[in-house]
Each structure stands twice: as C-alpha cells, then as structure tokens.
Amino acid sequence: AQRIGNLPVRTRIRSARRAFQEAVSTGDKDATDKAFRVFCSSLDKGAKKGVIKKNTAIRSKTRAAACLRALSA
C-alpha cells in the first residue's frame, strides 16, 4: 500500500527531471529556469514525504543547478 502511495510522487519527480533536461537541451533560459523550480519543488516534496532521502534530493538539485549555471555561462 505504501508503494502505491509513493508512486505518483516518484512519477512527478521523474517527469520534472525529464522536462528540465529537455529545457536544458533546447537552451531556452526562461523555460530552463521554470523547469528547474518545478524540479526542485517536486524533489523537496518527495523528500518531505519520505519517498526519497533528503541527501538524494539535495544531490539532484545540486547537479541540476550546475547544469543551469553552465547554460548561463
């Protein structure tokens, strides 16, 4: 039962990650910023609910921020 409850949260995180990676590949700064915020929010919510570990969320956000900085530079 717990697995079924965690599934939508995991799906939301994966979808947000995919959207962020697609936005980075297009090179559109505004779309990438928005996708980054959505991705970070979904990671935070997943960590808060215990679906993913806190450090996993932090690590994913750090890697995404590095991609965002590389795009800006």
Model confidence, pTM: 0.93
Distance between CA atoms of 64 and 36, rounded to whole angstroms?
Answer: 7
50 Rama sector, left if φ>0, alpha if ψ -120 to 50, beta otherwise:
left
Print pLDDT tens along the chain (73 aa).
889 999 999 999 999 999 999 999 999 999 999 999 999 999 999 999 999 999 999 999 999 999 999 998 7
57: helix, coil or strand?
A: helix
Q: How buried is 17 (Cβ within 10 angstroms: 0-12 exposed, 13-18 middle, 19+ buried)?
A: middle
Kindly state the tokens that stand for 69.
Answer: 């900085």
